[in-house]
A and B are shown apart, each in its own frame.
Chain A
Amino acid sequence: MVLAIKESIANTFGFVKNEVVGFSRSRMFYYVLAALAIAAVVPLFTSSYVLSEVLTPMVIFTIYASSWNLLASSGQGSLGHAAFLGIGGFASALLVIKLGIPPIIGLFVGSVFSAVIGLLIGLTCVRLKAWFLGMVTFGFSVIAVTIISQFDAVTGGIMGFRTPLIVERGLPFYYLTFVFAVISVFAIHLIMRSKLGLAFRAIHGNELEAKMNGVNTAKYRLIAFVLSTFFAGLAGGLYAQSIQYIQISIFEPYYSFLPLMICVIGGLGTLEGPIIGSVIIVAIDRYLPGIDSALQFLKPLFPNVSFVGPPLRMLFLGLFLIVIVVFAPKGLTAFIRRAYAYFRGKLVTVKEQ
């Protein structure tokens, strides 16, 4: 038994080492290094508003969307991931306040707690087809609100409360989330490259075939569920700290749909998808309100609303999502890549003529 564990640890270690060495020799390594350097240096030159309202959420939502992406890569779509974002946020903050443990431990325990709840939910629904899983998870995010409100005396969720911080807001907190994001994304990358990831992809590709090839599909889907809810809980703990406040509004469908949006727009099932999607979505969310006052001239068309901008923006976001799924099902990046290749191809043929 001990030997087996030792061996599996050694195997895992060997796999990670191989991956790291292989990666450091690939061309991709330099791109990633450059991207990391930019992400590390840019915050030094931005205002504190941009730092805490734009860059930090981008990084946290990268973790959150990556957790969703991991789940989706095993063919499972959650429509209630906000439940785990919220559970992670509430658990990590409450542990610190009620038990007085250090916030960093609280963050970790909160994530584990989210994964445990994920395990329980997963046990009831990993055998379900995609839609039913989506519905059950969405339903769970609704019941989570009910439970937190019912036990308001303990949770304080209805009015909300201030969350204890691990480090000071601003640069230190940004770098903290940045480190967590890098570790999470890399960990998820390793998972997807391992045998586990192979099983996930096999299930996603063709569940029946995977089953016939001896893959215990229920087990692997459950593993994906637990891993995903762990990272979602982590993102929740960090998010609650970044906005310094937590309340039941964190369970709103908006937060459940957010990672879907991010992944679809960035590119589903790819490593960079959640990162690119987060940057785009947060930027839209933070900077596009600027055009709201410009859109206000449409007000006479819609006499029943006082501010035309927000619903109009959301409506176009919805249309945008549909258009992407129908016309560019591999995400914007793949679409741009294809468009680029197409135009380059045209250019080349023009030159040849």
Chain B
Amino acid sequence: MFTLSGIVETLLWGVANGCIYILLATGLNIIFGVMKLVNFAHGQLLMIGAYVAFVASTALGLNAYLAILVAMGAVAVIGIGLERFTFRKVLGTDKLNEIFVSLGLIYVFENAAILLWGNDSQRIVSPYESLRLSLGEVAIGYDRIFGVLIVIAILIALFLLMKKTKIGLAMRATSQKSDTSMLMGINIEKVYIFTFALGAALAGVAGALYGIIFPFNPYIGALPTIKAFAIIILGGLGSIPGAVVGGLLYGIAENTAVYFLGGIWQDAIAFALLIAVLVLRPTGLFGEKGE
């Protein structure tokens, strides 16, 4: 039976899950906005982030929440490598080449993870795992609440970075007009590396949070990528506030669908939403001139 407390709980969980998607979508969106590049292997960076945090918390014995920082740094470094040695080579050539490189990266990351950590599901054990905040009949885990707080903190930091720092100014300028930005004396290659590293770092944090909340294996990357995409399209290309709103809506929609329709629909809802937005508000997609 559907109960009120059940629905409220579903909404709250939706918000918490949405936060993970927001990080992923924001990273994807920043990279797209500045570089006009789509990294289809972005979800695999999330997966790697989860494993890095897992190793940091088990092998190094770090607190799960400190492990997030390790994941963030490690995935950012991986991002720098990706930009430098793969995407930079195909940037500005045929768009299909970006898709091919992403596909190759998906194979590389998934199988590297299998080799290193095996096929079995893992979890990052958080010290607050068994703690729940109860409000009447509704209960929500501390880990989810911390997740939301971390995401809010990151989004504020991101906002300040974009508005107040020189590199943020350069990123915004490049996203609007890359040629003119170069004439301002901006070293666009540096901006690209920083942007990709930033997007990857966000995926790394998202992965660590994912690993604290859900069990994960080497194959979890693919679906979050589509979901992040649906969110970006929902919220509007290149817009960070759009990604935030889209992410929340998405998380809620997904959890509601599972609650009312059954678990089998969890992933299909992403596509249904995508199609709905494309049919109803195609300008959300083509409004931005990005090629």
Interface assignment of B93: CB less than 8 Å from any CB of chain A: yes
Residues of B within 8 A of A127 (CB): 282, 286
- Which of A129, A260, A319 neighbours the largest number of chain B CB atoms within 10 Å of its CB? A129
CB distance from A285 to the nearest CB of B (A): 14
**CB distance A139 to B115 under 8 Å?**
no
**Could you tell me if A322 and B222 are in contact, using CB atoms closer than 8 angstroms?**
no
| A31→B286 CA distance, assembly (Å) | 46
- A125 in contact (CB, < 8 A): yes
Does A1 sit within 8 A of B, measured CB to CB?
no
Q: Is B97 a contact of A136 with CB atoms below 8 Å?
A: no
Known: A77-B96, A325-B100. Contact between A131 and B271, CB under 8 A?
no
Q: A127-B286, A132-B233, A304-B117 are in contact. Are A314 and B111 (CB under 8 A)?
A: yes
- A146 lies within 8 A of B265 (CB): yes
Q: Closest CB-CB distance, A252 to chain B, in whole Å?
A: 10
Cα separation A149 to B291 with both chains bound (whole Å)? 38
Other-chain residue from B107, B112, B115 in contact with A308 (beta carbon distance below 8 A): B115
- Contact A146 B223, beta carbon cutoff 8 Å: no
Verify if A105 is at the interface (C-beta below 8 Å from B).
no
B157 within 8 A of A: no
Question: For the complex, what is the distance from the CA of A147 to the CA of B265, rounded to whole Å?
Answer: 9
Q: Are B226 and A139 in contact (CB under 8 A)?
A: yes
Contacts of A260 in B (CB 8 A): 99-100, 103
Q: In the docked arrangement, what's the CA distance between A149 and B99, Å?
A: 29
Closest residue of A by beta carbon distance from B278: A124
Q: Which chain A residues border B265 with CB–CB below 8 Å? A: 146
A140 to B273, CA, bound (A): 11
Cross-chain contact A311 with B271 (CB below 8 angstroms):
no
Residues of B with C-beta under 8 A to A314: 107, 110-111
Q: Is the interface of B mostly helix, strand, loop or mixed?
A: helix
Q: Are A130 and B99 in contact (CB under 8 A)?
A: yes
Q: Is the CB of B285 within 8 A of A132?
A: yes
Residue from B95, B99, B120, B274 whose CB has the most chain A CB atoms within 10 Å:
B99
CB-defined contacts of B66 to chain A, threshold 8 Å: none
B264 interface contact, C-beta 8 A: yes
Interfacial residues of chain B within 247-291, with CB under 8 A of chain A in the complex: 264-265, 267-268, 270-272, 274-275, 278-279, 282, 285-286, 290-291
Docked Cα-Cα span, A107 to B88, in Å, equals 44
Whether A72 sits at the interface, judged by CB under 8 Å, is yes
Interchain CB contact under 8 A, B99 and A77: yes
Could you tell me the distance between the alpha carbons of A48 and B149 in the complex, rounded to whole angstroms? 62
Assess A325 versus B107: contact at CB under 8 Å? Given A143-B272, A305-B114: no
Bitwise, A73-95 to B at CB < 8 A (1) or not (0) is 00101010000000000000000
A135 within 8 Å of B (CB atoms): yes
Q: For the complex, what is the distance from the CA of A325 to the CA of B100, rounded to whole Å?
A: 7
Which chain A residues in 113-155 approach chain B with CB under 8 Å?
124-125, 127-132, 134-136, 138-140, 142-143, 146-147, 149-150
Q: Does the CB pair B101–A131 fall under 8 Å?
A: no
Q: What are the interface flags for B204-224 relative to A under an 8 Å C-beta threshold, 1 for contact and 0 otherwise?
A: 000000000000000000110
Q: Is the CB of A149 within 8 A of B264?
A: yes
CA distance A352 to B279 in the complex (A): 66
The binding surface of chain A is classed by DSSP as helix
Q: Which residues of A contact B278 (CB under 8 A)?
A: 124-125, 128, 136
Expressed in whole angstroms, the minimum distance between the Cβ of A86 and any Cβ of chain B is 15
Complex contact A77–B95 (CB within 8 A): yes
B118 at the interface (CB under 8 A from A): yes
Number of A interface residues in the complex (CB < 8 A): 47
A125 CA to B275 CA, complexed, in Å? 9
**Given A124-B278, A130-B96 in contact, is the A322-B105 Cβ separation under 8 Å?**
yes
Cβ A317 vs Cβ B107 within 8 A: yes
Contact A146 B108 (CB under 8 A): no
Q: Is B52 an interface residue (CB 8 A)?
A: no
Q: Which of B89, B99, B110, B230 contacts A326 (CB 8 A)?
A: B89
With A and B bound together, what is the CA distance between A147 and B111 in angstroms?
29
In residues 217-270 of chain A, which contact B (Cβ within 8 Å)?
A: 253, 257, 260-261, 264, 268
In the assembled complex, the Cα of A147 lies from the Cα of B275 at a distance in Å of 15
The answer for the CA separation of A319 and B225 in the assembled complex, in Å, is 21
What A residues does B103 contact at CB under 8 A? 79, 257, 260-261, 318, 321
Q: Select from chain B the residue with minimum beta-carbon distance to A76.
A: B96
Residue among B38, B99, B104 making CB contact with A319, cutoff 8 Å: B104
Residues of A with C-beta under 8 A to B86: 322, 326
Q: B267 to A142, Cβ gap below 8 A?
A: yes
Interface centre among A128, A135, A142, A146 (most CB of B within 10 A): A135
Let me know if B95 and A321 touch, CB within 8 A: no
Shortest Cβ distance from B118 into A: residue: A304
Q: Does B1 contact A (CB under 8 A)?
A: no
Q: Is B116 part of the binding interface, using a Cβ–Cβ cutoff of 8 Å?
A: yes
Q: In whole Å, how far is A123's beta carbon from the nearest beta carbon of chain B?
A: 9
Q: Please state if B229 and A319 are interface contacts (CB–CB under 8 Å).
A: no
Q: Collect the chain B residues with CB atoms within 8 Å of residue A268's CB.
A: 96
Q: Decide if A135 touches B107 in the complex (CB within 8 Å).
A: no
Q: A318-B104, A318-B107 are in contact. Are A305 and B274 (CB under 8 A)?
A: no
User: Considering the complex of A and B, which 3 residue pairs feature the smallest CB-CB distances, nearest first?
Assistant: A318-B107, A304-B118, A139-B271
30 A–B contacts, CB within 8 A, in A order: A75-B95, A77-B95, A125-B278, A127-B282, A128-B285, A129-B95, A130-B96, A131-B38, A131-B95, A132-B285, A136-B271, A139-B229, A142-B267, A143-B268, A146-B267, A257-B107, A261-B103, A302-B115, A302-B116, A304-B120, A314-B107, A318-B107, A319-B104, A321-B104, A322-B101, A325-B90, A326-B86, A326-B89, A329-B90, A329-B94
In the complex, given contacts A139-B270, A305-B119, what are 8 additional A-B residue pairs having Cβ atoms less than 8 angstroms apart? A77-B95, A129-B290, A130-B99, A134-B40, A136-B275, A142-B223, A260-B99, A320-B104
